Each structure stands twice: as C-alpha cells, then as structure tokens.
C-alpha cells in the first residue's frame, strides 16, 4: 500500500523538478531574479536618505513602491502563483528594515502593508485579465466550430457528408485525431 502511494508522489516530484529546471533555464527568470536582488540590496544596504524636495517621502518609501515592478513581472511571466511568491519574498525583504533599522517603524510597517495590498491588487488584476483572455480565446474557437459546421450544412444536403464535416471540425477544434465515421455509425448516432 505504501509503495502505491510513493509512485505517484515520485512522479509528481519528477514533474515538479522538470518544471523547475524549465523555469530556471529561461532568461526572463534570471532577469526577474537580478531585478529582485538588486532592489533587495538597494533597500537593505544603503543608509536612509530624506528627499527634501518631495517632502514626506523617504528613499526607502520609493524602494518599497518599486518592489511592485518585480511582483507585476512575475505575475505576467508565471501567473498568480509566481506573483504571490514574489510578493511574499518582497515582504520578507522589507520587514527587517521595519523592525530594526527604521526610525519610525509604524510608518515603515504601514508602507510595507500598503505595498502588500497594492501588490496583491496588481496580481489579482493581471490574473483576471489573463483568465478573461483565455475565456475569449475559447469562445472564439467555439464560434469558429459553429461557423464551420453551419457552412458545411449550407453547402450540402447529404447527411453523411454533413456529419463527417461536423465531426472533422469538432475534432480539429478539440485537437484530437479523428477519422470520418461510416454512414452506419453516423446514422446510429443521429437516429436517422
């Protein structure tokens, strides 16, 4: 019983490792990682500098806001999961400065929470947009199928030919290899 459970777990682990290798092999991942590490170093290692021309905004406030860029990029590249992981990492990078280095920790904590909320909203907006895009593409594929079937119906009045074309269109949209059914199979399915 334990062996049967370990096989699917091992297969999932191999699949995850293959996916991780694929992600780590992309150039966009390393650009995202370099951007994130650069921002983390800039945020953590430089001393606090007040920007008097802007007034109430500190340099670290701007750095916290700039952390939204890798969050948005990760969401575009790797979906909602990638964005949430990057958001969590950004919060982990920003929190030590709040706890130990900031002269006003409550203000810094409020900034980190604000960046977290705005970051999550960015993730949600991008994920919703991608989902709607996918739904539109599915609807277009269904409409193309309906159009192809209606065009074949208007071309011919032979039921076998209509059914063969309809099946071919449906298989083409579904991405399945299909053969044309025989006349008997077509008449059994339709009851004609």
Listed ranges 4-13, 35-44, 77-86; the one with the highest mean pLDDT = 77-86
Q: Establish if 192 belongs to a structural domain.
A: no
Is there a domain that residue 189 lies in? no
Q: Would you say 152 and 145 are in contact if contact means Cβ atoms under 8 Å apart? A: no
Burial 88-118 (b: 16+ CB within 10 A, else e): ebbbebbeebbeeebeeeeebeebbeebbee
Q: Each residue of 122-168: pLDDT tens digit?
A: 999 999 999 999 999 999 988 988 888 787 777 766 777 777 777 77
Q: How far is CA 42 from CA 48, 54, 57, 105, 181, in A?
A: 11, 20, 17, 19, 66
68 belongs to a structural domain: yes
Domains identified in the chain, total number: 1
Q: Give dist(CA 29, CA 163) in Å, integer.
A: 48
Note whether residue 128 is domain-resident: yes
Distance CA(136)–CA(146), nearest Å, equals 15
**Does a structural domain hold residue 27?**
yes
Instruction: Look at residue 50 and tell me if it is in a domain.
Output: yes
- Residue 67 counted as domain residue: yes
Give the Cβ contact number of residue 188 at 10 Å. Answer: 11
Query: Pick the residue with more confidence: 59 or 149?
Result: 149
15 within some domain? yes
Domain enclosing residue 142, as ranges = 2-155
């Amino acid at each position: 019983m334990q062996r049967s459970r370990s096989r699917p777990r091992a297969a999932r682990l191999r699949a995850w490792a293959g996916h991780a290798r694929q992600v780590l092999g992309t150039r966009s991942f390393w650009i995202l990682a370099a951007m994130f590490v650069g921002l983390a170093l800039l945020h953590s290692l430089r001393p606090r500098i007040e920007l008097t021309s802007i007034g109430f905004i500190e340099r670290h406030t701007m750095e916290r806001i700039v952390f939204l860029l890798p969050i948005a990029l990760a969401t575009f590249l790797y979906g909602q999961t990638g964005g949430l992981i990057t958001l969590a990492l950004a919060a982990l990078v920003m929190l030590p400065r709040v706890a130990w280095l900031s002269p006003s920790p409550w203000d810094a904590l409020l900034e980190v929470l604000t960046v977290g909320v705005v970051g999550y909203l960015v993730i949600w907006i991008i994920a919703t947009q991608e989902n709607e895009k996918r739904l539109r593409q599915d609807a277009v594929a269904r409409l193309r199928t309906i159009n192809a079937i209606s065009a074949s119906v208007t071309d011919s009045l032979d039921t076998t030919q209509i059914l063969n074309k309809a099946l071919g269109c449906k298989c083409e949209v579904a991405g399945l290899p299909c053969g044309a059914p025989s006349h008997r199979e077509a008449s059994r399915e339709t009851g004609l």
